[in-house]
Chains A and B, each alone.
Chain A
Amino acid sequence: MTLAEGVQLVAFGILTAMTLGGALGVVLLDNIVYSAFLLGGVFTSMSGLYILLNAGFVAAAQVLVYVGAVSVLILFGIMLVNKEQPFVAVKQAWVGKVATGAVCAGLFALLTISTLNTPWAISTEVPTGDMATVTIGIHFFTDYLLPFELASVLLLIALIGAIVLARREFIPDVAPGSPESEALQLPERPRELVSSIASPDTES
């Protein structure tokens, strides 16, 4: 075994362990913030696997889109949502857990069997490596033109929509004296300072 092969093998082992462990953590941990951070870790280690497969462009895109955008979006979602839910003990909750576990184990067994039994057609072609960007571009503008254009139009709509949303300045015109509508009220209303309430007689 040459040096490069050894490094690849070790890196593959570490990355696989990180991916699997992280994915299990995402599902099994109670703390949802841990799950979100672990999801970022899973995506990162998957991009490492892509690098091992000589797909540098996909790896960088994976980090940019999934780690940089999706994970951060999820984290923002978790941290900005302020949901409080009273804990209700469900009787015989273990039945649901056991059922879920059984279904997951069944799916896992099915996938394992099909993976082992499929005669994979392993390509002998040399990976394009650094030329992948060019190849991807050529494919985008020949055989995958329509999906590419549709995706770019979708992204452009999202981008312009974001600008329009950000540009909109919503100033509700509430007539003086009329009660403010419920929808415009923040959960945390600005309260009067304690000092101003405590001493009303010093008002001048």
Chain B
Amino acid sequence: MNQGIDLQGSFVNTLVDLGLPAGAAKALWLPLPMVVILVGATVSIFVTVWLERKISAAAQQRIGPEFAGPLGTLQAAADGIKLIFKEDITPAKADPILFTLGPAIVVIPVFLSYLIVPFGQNLVITDIGVGIFLWIALSSIAPIGLLMSGYSSNNKYSLLGGLRAAAQSISYEIPMALAVLAVVLMSNSLSTIDIVNQQSGYGILGWNIWRQPAGFLIFWIAALAECERLPFDLPEAEEELVAGYQTEYTGMKFGLFYVGSYVNLVLSALIVSILYLGGWESPVSVSWLASLIGVSETTPWLQVITASLGIMMTLFKAYALVFIAVLLRWTVPRVRIDQLLDFGWKFLLPVSLVNLLLTAALKLTFPMAFGG
């Protein structure tokens, strides 16, 4: 297996050669991947907001933002600056502590989840053995933040909105976890790196989407519901309803919810591409191409190409999924809350259970194809 480039090793070695002690060099390395991922996640908000505006405009046959920057690329930055300058209001008789903590608790687990997103064999903050499980666990913290902000707003709409958002989040977590479990069953590991490696080798033919089509659909639907994207955006439903648990929020506290929802969308798309679309693998396997023209996998320039291709592939797949999510927004009507809960509990949950059982049976029957 291609081990890829070892950025940490070369960084530490360079610093040690410059005369730093090894411990200090490692300590200097530690914050780097985190900062890179944080900045990347933040930039992804700008990209996604811009994409959303442009694709929405195209779907409605209008132009969309075009004055802020070339083609309106700075529109998202303008939105952000506007949010920063808005007055930060805490409603009268609201609970100031919980009111401030709520948005933070919604956002922090989302950013923390980037811990396990791999962009290449070694291009991940940390390869922990329980990776995808950790992501599921972290995504289950968000309902607490939603309940907290709903409760502390001193507003019945917000309280109900928070309860609704939390109920939605909980109901779609179970089908999602069961869909992930089927993938984990096939790859014999909870680590995201292993899950991608299990799909590698045969290019596009080896991706999990061919073996888990039902799981892919369940996961994508559940992920959209978790991110409160249309057709499942009833906790907030921007113009049509009172905006749920975020009614009373202004300024940067509202901005945190906004940031959280977009980062969560990109994160979900990344996780889908890792679980079902082969992660950093290209549709045509690079190592197979390299062996065809007789280049060793350990050649430095090939490794650099593989690594950059891997990052681009992961991002391309994720943004293709974001594109689909935005198109869905203008294609599918919003569901009602009872339809949403019915769909989650009565349809997705049994289907995902059957999917899991089928996967287990197929794994026992065809251990070759299903990672026995």
Chain A interface residues toward B at CB < 8 A: 2-3, 33-34, 37, 40, 44, 56-57, 60-61, 63-64, 67-69, 71-72, 75-76, 79-80, 129-133, 159, 162-163, 166-167
User: Which residues of chain A come closer than 8 Å to B42, judged between CB atoms?
Assistant: none
Smallest CB–CB gap between A129 and chain B, Å? Answer: 7
- Given the known interface contacts A69-B140, A79-B151, the answer about A163 and B350 at a Cβ–Cβ threshold of 8 Å is yes
B68 at the interface (CB under 8 A from A): no
| B23 contacts chain A at the CB level, 8 A cutoff | yes
CB proximity of A182 to chain B, nearest CB, Å: 25
Instruction: Establish whether residues A56 and B137, one from each chain, have CB atoms under 8 Å apart when the complex forms.
Output: no
* Contacting pair A72 B130 (CB below 8 A): no
Complex-state Cα separation, A16 to B128, whole angstroms: 24
Q: Which A residues are CB-close (under 8 A) to B143?
A: 68, 72
Chain B nearest CB: distance from A36 CB in Å? 9
Closest to A131 in B: B129
A129 touches B144 (CB 8 A): no
Q: State the 5 A-B residue pairs at the shortest beta-carbon distance, nearest first.
A: A68-B140, A130-B129, A64-B137, A63-B137, A60-B137
Q: Chain B interface (Cβ within 8 Å of chain A)?
A: 23, 26-27, 98, 128-130, 133-134, 136-138, 140-141, 143-144, 147-148, 151, 159, 163, 166-167, 170, 173, 190-191, 341-342, 345-346, 349-350, 353
**Residues from chain B with Cβ under 8 Å of A2 in the complex:** 23
Main secondary structure of the interface of A (DSSP, over half): helix
Name the B residues within 8 Å of A57 (CB-CB): 129-130, 133
Contact of B346 among A79, A129, A163 (CB under 8 A): A163
When distances are taken between beta carbons in the complex, the residues of chain A under 8 Å from B346 are 163, 166-167
- Cβ–Cβ < 8 Å partners of A162 in chain B: 345
Closest to A58 in B: B130
Q: Which residues of B contact A75 (CB under 8 A)?
A: 144, 147, 166
**Which B residues are CB-close (under 8 A) to A79?**
147, 151, 159, 163
What are 17 sample pairs from A and B whose C-beta atoms fall under 8 A apart? A2-B23, A3-B23, A33-B98, A57-B133, A63-B137, A63-B141, A64-B133, A72-B170, A130-B129, A130-B130, A131-B129, A132-B129, A133-B129, A159-B349, A163-B349, A166-B346, A167-B346
Q: How many A-B residue pairs have CB under 8 A?
A: 85
Instruction: For A63, give the chain B residue with the smallest CB separation.
Output: B137
Min Cβ gap A83→B in Å is 16
A57 to B147, CA, bound (A): 27
Nearest-Cβ distance from residue B264 to partner chain A, whole angstroms: 15
Q: Look across to chain A and name the residue whose beta carbon is closest to the beta carbon of B97.
A: A34
Instruction: Give the most central of A56, A69, A162: most B CB within 10 Å.
Output: A56
CB-CB nearest in chain B for A56: B130
CB atoms of B27 and A3 under 8 A apart:
yes
Find out whether the CB atom of A40 lies under 8 angstroms from the CB atom of B144. Answer: yes
Q: How far is the CB of B315 from chain A (nearest CB, A)?
A: 27
Supposing A3-B26, A63-B141, A76-B163 touch, asked if A166 and B345 sit within 8 A by C-beta, the answer is yes
A67 engages B140 (CB within 8 Å)? yes
Give every chain A residue within 8 A of B27 (Cβ-Cβ): 3
Chain A, Cβ-Cβ closest to B341: A166
Q: Which residues of A contact B163 (CB under 8 A)?
A: 76, 79-80
- Assuming the contacts A3-B26, A76-B163, asked whether A60 and B140 have C-beta atoms less than 8 A apart, the reply is no
Task: Tell me if B141 and A129 are in contact (CB < 8 A).
Answer: no
Closest A residue, CB atoms, query B167: A76
Report whether B130 and A64 are in contact in the complex, using a CB–CB cutoff of 8 Å: no
